[in-house]
Amino acid sequence: MAALNHYFATVARGLEPVAAQELKQLGAQEVHPDFTGVHFLGDQALLYRVNLWARTLFRVLVPIHEFSCPSTDRLYHEVQKIAWEDYLQPDNTLAVHCTGRSPALSHSHFTALQVKNAIVDQQRCIFGQRSSVDAQHPDLLINLHIQQNRCILSLDSSGASLHRRGYRQAMGAAPLKETLAAALLDLVGWDTGLPFIDPLCGSGTLPLEAGLKALNIAPGSFRQKFGFMGWPDFSVELWQSLLTEAQSSQLPELKAPIYGSDRDSNVLAQAQSNAERCGLAHHIALVQTELSQLESPADSGVLICNPPYGERLGDLQELGGFYKTLGDVLKQRFKGWTAFILTGNKELAKRVGLRASQRIPVYNGSLACTLLKYELY
Ligand SMILES: C[S@@+](CC[C@H](N)C(=O)[O-])C[C@H]1O[C@@H](n2cnc3c(N)ncnc32)[C@H](O)[C@@H]1O
């Protein structure tokens, strides 16, 4: 049996239980949610599988050293304890990301430099040569996480965050992250056999993530690069076999229709080109519609939207009228549906004028929001 390693998946605040559930479904063992992350065990195949299939995670880290760190000198010393030639040769490039801080290590940029210096100084001693830094596309991306006086040094198996699926080049003014859109679908318990609509879909994040999920398309299959591909133990065969397996497990048709609409033709054009890039253009319907003109496309289904909430787009007074219109449209034309509104503004939420049957706290970036559930009879 292949050796089991300890992995740590990073995730947006509040989504730890959703991510833990997803990891269990992908075959992770000993899954333990923590603050903005989930610990789990698995082999190399699971590491690749999670990177390819996870819809709600940002990154999968492989912790290699944990230590207490009261000073920058101690940091340097601890980083040099690692035999870096196991991970990195002088002709490979590297980058270091630093997250968190402590009183002794309070400047992320300087702390990351200290880690990099400890590594390249070791290389110079052994090889007389050192790796160069490539901030954009390093062969090895190293993460140092600092919490109180403890440091965890990890290899980042994902490289760029997994919310960068590789299919979205165009986005509207205030797009949801793909990982949050996927997590919302899980949080509301959307059954892919039910029609789905986002009537304020912008660049299409929710309908596209719904489509990928419903057709069992691996969200990572559009990416060219993952962090683990630059590692000495990268197995092309294993990766290829997972890609082939993913391709053959795609479903040919949706079980129920998926719709997205928006009044803005520019953002809808972006949604359409994103849909083309991920092979969903012929599966989901994207239609330009002013909210007040929207008709329900089916007798029942799930509606999720994130209207503007004043933090980033729109003016509060005007938005009050808009939220009232949203409530009226739901009440009058979406009987039989379950609707969810994600908003960061409680006052605006009241203007919907419907009684929420559930309120789920959700962070959209650093903004504390609520996902409000409405059963429409
Ligand atoms: C916060 S954005 C949604 C972003 C989207 N979830 C995404 O990920 O790209 C809100 C969207 O509501 C749309 N919108 C605002 N007022 C509207 C109206 N009266 N009718 C239809 N769409 C409207 C805007 O064009 C904008 O795309």
Rounded-to-integer distance, Cα 266 and Cα 241, Å:
39
What integer pLDDT is reported at residue 170 of this predicted model?
61
What integer pLDDT is reported at residue 148 of this predicted model?
86
Residue 290, ligand 1, Cβ within 6 A: yes
Taking CA atoms only, the protein residue closest to ligand 1 atom 5 is: 202
Q: Which secondary structure element, helix H or strand E, spans residue 98, and what is its range?
A: strand 94-101
- Cβ partners under 8 Å of residue 61, min gap 6: 7, 8, 9, 10, 143, 145, 154, 155, 156, 157
pLDDT tens digits, one per residue of 1-20: 578 999 999 999 999 999 99
Residue 311, ligand 1, Cβ within 6 A: no
Residue 267, ligand 1, Cβ within 6 A: yes
Selection from 254, 264, 161 nearest residue 213 by Cα? 254
Q: Which ligand 1 atom sits closest to the C-alpha of 291?
A: 20
Ligand 1 centroid to residue 356 C-alpha, Å: 21
- Count of alpha carbons within 13 angstroms of residue 357, beta-carbon side: 9
- Cβ partners under 8 Å of residue 138, min gap 6: 93, 94, 95, 159, 230
Mutate to test the pocket of ligand 1, among 169, 200, 325, 329 (most ligand atoms within 8 A of CB): 200
Which residue positions in the chain have pLDDT lower than 70? 1, 170-173, 311-314
Place of tokens 């909210």: 291
pLDDT tens digits, one per residue of 102-138: 999 999 999 999 999 999 999 999 999 999 999 999 9
Q: Which ligand 1 atom sits closest to the C-alpha of 305?
A: 6
Ligand 1 centroid to residue 14 C-alpha, Å: 24
What integer pLDDT is reported at residue 76 of this predicted model?
97
Q: In the numeric block, which tokens belong to residue 136?
A: 């954009």
Burial of 27 by CB count in 10 Å (0-12 exposed, 13-18 middle, 19+ buried)? middle
What integer pLDDT is reported at residue 168 of this predicted model?
84
Residue 308, ligand 1, Cβ within 6 A: yes
CA dihedral 254, 183, 155, 244 (to 10 degrees): -10
CB-based contact 195:259 (threshold 8 Å): yes
Mutate to test the pocket of ligand 1, among 262, 274, 319, 326 (most ligand atoms within 8 A of CB): 262
Ligand 1 centroid to residue 367 C-alpha, Å: 18
The CA distances from residue 297 to 199, 240, 307, 342, 371, in Å, are 11, 40, 20, 21, 23
What integer pLDDT is reported at residue 293 of this predicted model?
97
Residue 274, ligand 1, Cβ within 6 A: no
β-pair partners for 34:
37
Domains of the chain by start residue, with CATH: 5-156 (3.30.2130.30), 178-217+253-375 (3.40.50.150)
Residue 20: phi, psi to the nearest 5?
-60, -40
Place of tokens 């400890």: 118
Taking CA atoms only, the protein residue closest to ligand 1 atom 8 is: 175
The b-or-e profile of 90-117 (16+ CB within 10 A means b, else e) is eebbbbbbbbeebeebeebeebbebbbb
- Cβ partners under 8 Å of residue 237, min gap 6: none
CB-based contact 262:289 (threshold 8 Å): yes
Helix ranges (H only) for the chain are 16-25, 44-53, 72-80, 108-127, 178-187, 205-214, 236-248, 265-277, 316-333, 346-350
Helix (H, G, I), strand (E, B) or coil at 155: strand
pTM summary value: 0.95
CB-based contact 326:353 (threshold 8 Å): no
Taking CA atoms only, the protein residue closest to ligand 1 atom 12 is: 200
Selection from 253, 261, 244 nearest residue 202 by Cα? 261
- Cβ partners under 8 Å of residue 103, min gap 6: none
Per DSSP bridges, beta strands 196-198 and 337-343 are: unpaired
